[in-house]
């Protein structure tokens, strides 16, 4: 009788585990702006490897100051270390990249020549 219960208990346990992980992952995807991403970088990298934590802090500080080139550089370095990131950290890094792009597009639309130049450079780099 115990053997017959093992399989259903395992499936139930696995389901509960996976549904719990989804909740945490959803929380990592709540930032809609570069400013919110700056805060998430600090929160989700608080207990990370010191090098990764420093990159996240530098990216966060750069976002707070509107220094998108430096923020992009740090985010790209964090992505390059993707194997060392947990799921939430990777999601925050990816989301931050998207939010930086949105902020750059908005700034360029408002006449910011530096933002437009950075977008042009990124577009050229992707084509090569």
Q: Are residues 76 and 17 in the same domain?
A: no
Note whether 113 and 50 are same-domain residues: yes
Question: Are 20 and 36 within one domain?
Answer: no
Q: How many Å apart are CA 54 and CA 45, to the nearest integer?
A: 9
CB under 8 Å to 21, separation ≥6 — which residues?
Answer: 87
Spell out the per-residue pLDDT of the chain, length 128, in tens.
445 544 444 444 434 444 444 444 555 567 888 889 999 999 999 999 999 999 999 999 999 999 999 999 999 999 999 999 999 999 999 999 999 999 999 999 999 999 999 899 888 888 87
For residues 78 and 105, state if they share a domain.
Answer: yes
Q: Say if residue 37 is in the same domain as residue 12.
A: no
- Does 3 share its domain with 43? no
Range of the domain at 74: 31-127
Closest CA to 39 of 60, 68, 70: 60
| Joined tokens for residue 111 | 């006449």
Taking residue 52's Cβ as centre, other Cβ atoms within 10 Å add up to 17
37 and 94 both lie in a single domain: yes
Shared domain for 85 and 24, answered yes or no, is no
CA distances from residue 52 to 12, 29, 38, 76, 104 in whole angstroms, order as listed: 36, 19, 14, 12, 24
b/e sequence 74-109, b meaning 16+ C-beta within 10 Å: bbebbeebeeebeebbbbbbbbbbebbbebbeebbe
What's the pTM value of the predicted model, to 2 decimals? Answer: 0.74
| Domains: count for the chain | 2
- In this structure, the answer to whether residues 41 and 104 fall within a common structural domain is yes
Residues 115 and 56 grouped into a single domain: yes
Same domain for 14 and 48:
no
- Rounded to 5, what percent of the chain is helix, strand, coil? 85, 0, 15
Say yes or no: 37 and 90 in one domain.
yes
């Amino acid at each position: 009788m115990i053997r017959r219960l093992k399989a259903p208990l395992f499936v139930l346990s696995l389901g509960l585990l996976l549904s719990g992980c989804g909740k945490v992952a959803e929380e990592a995807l709540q930032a809609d702006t570069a400013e919110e991403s700056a805060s998430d970088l600090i929160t989700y990298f608080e207990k990370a490897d010191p090098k990764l934590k420093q990159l996240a802090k530098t990216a966060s500080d750069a976002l707070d100051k509107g220094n998108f080139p430096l923020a992009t550089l740090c985010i790209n370095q964090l992505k390059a270390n993707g194997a060392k990131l947990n799921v939430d950290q990777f999601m925050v890094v990816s989301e931050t990249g998207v939010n930086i792009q949105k902020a750059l597009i908005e700034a360029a639309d408002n006449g910011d020549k530096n933002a437009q130049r950075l977008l042009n450079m990124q577009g050229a780099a992707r084509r090569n």
